[in-house]
Amino acid sequence: MLINNQLAAGEYRHNYIRLAFILGTLLLFIGYIAVCQLFERGNHPASINGTIRPENLRLNEITPSDWVYRSLNALNYLWQFSWLLYSLTFIYRRSSTGYLYLSPNTLTPTFYVIYNLSFLIPAFWLIFLQETYLIWTWVIYLISFVLLSMALFIINNNVAINRKLYETEGFNRDIWCLRFFAQNGVAFFAAWTAIRFILAFDTFLQVFLGLSLATSGTVVLVLAAIFAITFFFIPNFNAALVEQCAYQFAPWIVFIFYFWGVVERNWVPKQATRNNIIAAIELAACVVSGIGALALFAIRYRTSKIDPLV
């Protein structure tokens, strides 16, 4: 799998700035988890109403069951750790032109900077500003989502550009590791952040704009549908992204879990409200769309329109 015979071992050189990005990102993410766990569910005594969740400040119909938070947070932490730890193997593994973190140039400094900002900004907000400006937390989640979307675009594009280099050097398995761990990990983080944005936005709509519980819930569920549709249609029907995103499935886990949790927590038999019904329809639509995405994947795989697994 490793190809070392074109350069003498002594000619390989490390780039210490790039090494700092790799190791620093792992350490910073550990710090981010520590901050989230410190402030989560009122562990921080100064938290307003004993919670860091803006959506808990007002009664609403769009907050999911608590198991959704626990499950998606745990999956997100696990997925980020998986690709960050995997990236450490690039430090000592080499291609014919250099260490893997340098060539092929996939996990670039630009990617690391944007990815780090996507979780450092929310961490800073939690520690220093959220208690005072809790109602504006949706802005921070929106910024984080935009940054993660940019990081996702970069990693998708870089894997596609460098795919032939990995294959030529004999690193075929690394293509799939990058797609499963890094690409899907960032996609999962982005989708979960999009959900946190709409949850915080519901409180803003009620408190700052004076919308009713039912109206704000409908607006937020429409936004959730837009996010879900975007994650489904762009990878599956944009010709330029079909091959890049063929193996990107993580967002569907987020949306199915979210709508499932909303229905479970808020559905009242024989007294279903408009938002209860909308959430149930969106849950069914996500399940059907997920099956449809899987069917499209199978068709494209059999007709060799996407890379075969190796």
CA–CA separation, 262 and 199 (whole Å):
11
The whole-number pLDDT of residue 234 equals 78
The residue assigned the tokens 């499950």 is: 71
pLDDT of 247 higher than 80 = yes
Mean pLDDT within 242-253? 86
pLDDT band at residue 74 under the 50/70/90 scheme: very high
Q: Which residues contact 74 (CB under 8 A, 6 or more apart)?
A: none
The whole-number pLDDT of residue 310 equals 53
pLDDT of 25 higher than 50 = yes
- Average pLDDT over the chain reads 89
Q: Which residue has the higher pLDDT, 83 or 235?
A: 83
Question: Angle CA(180)–CA(184)–CA(188) in degrees, nearest 5?
Answer: 150
Residues 257-277 have pLDDT tens digits of: 999 999 999 998 888 999 999
Number of neighbours of residue 209 by Cβ within 10 angstroms: 10
The whole-number pLDDT of residue 5 equals 41
pLDDT band at residue 51 under the 50/70/90 scheme: low
CA–CA separation, 129 and 4 (whole Å):
51
Residues 108-142 have pLDDT tens digits of: 999 999 999 999 999 999 999 988 899 999 999 99
Where helices occur in 102-247 by DSSP H, the ranges are 109-128, 137-169, 172-177, 184-207, 213-237
CA–CA separation, 221 and 95 (whole Å):
48
Give pTM, 2 decimals. 0.92
